[in-house]
Amino acid sequence: MSDVDTKIVSLKIEAPEALVKQTEEFTKQIITILPGIHCAIGYGLANSMLIEGDDGNIIIDTLESCEAAIELHKDFQAISSKPVVAIIYTHNHADHVFGTEVLAGDNLSNVKIYSHATTRTILDVTGLIQRITFQRAARQFGMYLTEAHGIVNDGIGLHLKFDKNNRRSLLYPTDTFDTDSLNLTIAGRNLVLYHAPGETDDQIVVYMPKEKVLFAADNIYKAFPNIYAIRGTSTRDAIQWVSSLDLMRNLRAEYLVPSHTKPISGAEYIYETITIYRDAIQFVHDQTVRFMNQGFTPDDIIGKKFIQLPKHLKEHPYLQEFYGTVDWSIRAIFDRYIGWYSSKESDLNPDAPIIRAQNLIRLGGGSKKVFESAQTAYSEEKYQWCLELTEALNLHPEDLNKSEVIQLQVLALQKLASFQTSANGRNWYLTKSLEIQGLIEIKPSPNQVSQTIMNAPLKSLFMFLSINLNYQKANEVNQLFLFHFQDTNAKFSIHIRNGIADVKYQWPENFQSSSIDVIVEVTREEIWKQVIARIKSPIEAVSDEEIILKDGSGEINQELIVPFLMFLTMFTSD
């Protein structure tokens, strides 16, 4: 505790005392729940659990990167050096799946990886929005923040150990199930895997009926549930989450081991804790829908403080808003049912941000006057208004010195951060304050980008080509390219037309050779991945005859390199 106290003093940006105290929840340790059942806390953002069996061990969740898993692997090995025979992914989130390669140790090639069937499907499409989610996750988890910048913790874990130097090795599940539950006996241990959609749709919880230990995944942790993640997710289904918590509490477990924050014990206490958690989710869901039905927008509901947690929920240690918040949940639940439109007519076809900024500044008597208003707002502690004004001035500074605007905006962001109980909100404001000063640029390193491409299934790479099509370049183009991979016999086709790339995982049936622009024969899938990852140039691949270009009738014609290169230039993510 004394450790933590000195940190507060050294922080430039203040933090709510409760959020600082939450750090104690993540003290690095391995807690033995029962003989042979252990929970490791504080090695990564999430916990990782070790179950010792007769002739092998089971691990539940594997942290967020290889680096985060190295120390844990050593410490698990010290507890038991039996081979890891099974790994269970409770869900697809990065903080639960990326340390597998390290934690599986010597048994990597034989280990069985269990998950719900939907985990695999979600992992396949995660790359689709990878760029934006990397950036937003970096803000939510404060991935670029140091203690000097004011990071306290990540609300449900100390810190997401992932930056541009870390390696993520994604190993796909080998054994999935799509039923409600799966009964397993692994190394003499009986486990029941329940599909329990909650914090994610693919969430599973693991129950050991004999020992009465429930591994709760992310369906409950000691912080307000993240019904919506500001890093960018679709709203979690509150009703499903509640019914999964009902399933969990009715197991009457003696030990509850969540994948974030400390385990708890005692059947009665666990039942009560899960009950209060499910009640809070139901309360926020039901009341949001109630006020929605009365015609209120999220701004109304939040602005008028219509929804306040009842006292016994508000004061409960499991419902403090260190992670999710009631207000963000209200917005999310509205959005899940109603979509983006608030119903306010001025929101229907709003002006572009720059036009709104110009109008606001004109109304305020010009940028100098508005800047003075922003300064006044700051000194009157109206930090939100100060932020709004500086955001507008940033877009339309007129004759102002932009660095002055940024300075004030940074101060407003820091103040707003200091009042946030949610680590997510605090980290976001603080990260943004570094970004606008040009101190950091959030993007994965070229190494990480190429690693992701090299690890991805070929099918996903083709799927993602369509979202990288630069439609301005593809305008007026009508071309059909066929691909064949000689090592795996995989076939794909891409038809560019009307500004879209129609990607199919097969060749069209009964095609006419004249309708084909180029047939691309690739000797090995690896070569194509290298070209996409820009490790190998397409010209080199063609001249090395690793890529062979043919016309529609199957004749080799290396002059097709020109349309082939033109084709590739149409797919740029920038």
The CB-of-98 to Zn ion minimum distance in angstroms stands at 12
265 phi and psi, to 5 degrees? Answer: -140, 165
Which stretch, 143-151, 210-218, 357-365, 402-410, contacts Zn ion (CB under 5 A)?
Answer: 210-218
The CB-of-417 to Zn ion minimum distance in angstroms stands at 23
Q: Is 410 in the site for Zn ion (CB under 5 A)?
A: no
Residue 351 and residue 176: Cα distance in Å, rounded?
48
The CB-of-137 to Zn ion minimum distance in angstroms stands at 12
Which stretch, 92-100, 227-235, 451-459, 487-495, contacts Zn ion (CB under 5 A)?
Answer: 92-100
Helix, strand, coil percentages (3-state) for the chain, rounded to 5, are: 45, 15, 40
- 394-397, Cβ contacts within 8 angstroms, sequence gap of 24 or more: 394/436, 395/353, 395/354, 395/357, 396/354, 396/357, 396/358, 396/361, 396/367, 397/367
Residue 137 and residue 4: Cα distance in Å, rounded?
25
Residue 112 · residue 175 · CB < 8 Å: yes
Q: Is 46 in the site for Zn ion (CB under 5 A)?
A: yes
Q: Is 332 in the site for Zn ion (CB under 5 A)?
A: no
For 328: left if phi > 0, alpha if psi spans -120 to 50, otherwise beta; the answer is alpha
Q: Is 327 in the site for Zn ion (CB under 5 A)?
A: no
Q: Is 453 in the site for Zn ion (CB under 5 A)?
A: no
484 by Cβ neighbours in 10 Å (0-12 / 13-18 / 19+) ranks as middle
Closer to Zn ion at the Cβ: 141 or 564?
141
What's the longest Cα–Cα distance across the chain? 77
Binding mask 340-369 for Zn ion (x = CB under 5 A): ------------------------------
Which stretch, 87-95, 275-283, 343-351, 434-442, contacts Zn ion (CB under 5 A)?
Answer: 87-95
The CB-of-223 to Zn ion minimum distance in angstroms stands at 11
Which stretch, 85-93, 222-230, 356-364, 558-566, contacts Zn ion (CB under 5 A)?
Answer: 85-93
Residue 131 and residue 574: Cα distance in Å, rounded?
11
Which stretch, 33-41, 42-50, 128-136, 421-429, contacts Zn ion (CB under 5 A)?
Answer: 42-50
> Within 13 A of 179's CA, how many CA atoms are on the CB side?
6
Closer to Zn ion at the Cβ: 95 or 279?
95
- Number of residues interacting with Zn ion: please give it, by CB under 5 A: 4
Q: Is 202 in the site for Zn ion (CB under 5 A)?
A: no
Residue 426 and residue 529: Cα distance in Å, rounded?
39
The CB-of-61 to Zn ion minimum distance in angstroms stands at 8
Which stretch, 17-25, 95-103, 188-196, 482-490, contacts Zn ion (CB under 5 A)?
Answer: 95-103
Write out the binding residues for Zn ion, residues 478-537 only, by CB under 5 A.
Answer: none
* 61, 64, 201, 218: which one binds Zn ion (CB under 5 A): 218
Residue 287 · residue 306 · CB < 8 Å: yes
Q: Is 211 in the site for Zn ion (CB under 5 A)?
A: no
Residues in CB range of 525: below 8 A, 6 or more apart:
458, 485, 487, 488, 490
Q: Is 95 in the site for Zn ion (CB under 5 A)?
A: yes
Tracing tokens 């280990």 back to the chain, one arrives at 111
Closer to Zn ion at the Cβ: 93 or 550?
93
Parallel, antiparallel, or unpaired: how do β-strands 57-60 and 84-88 relate? parallel
Q: Is 64 in the site for Zn ion (CB under 5 A)?
A: no
Residues in contact with Zn ion by the rule CB under 5 A: 46, 93, 95, 218
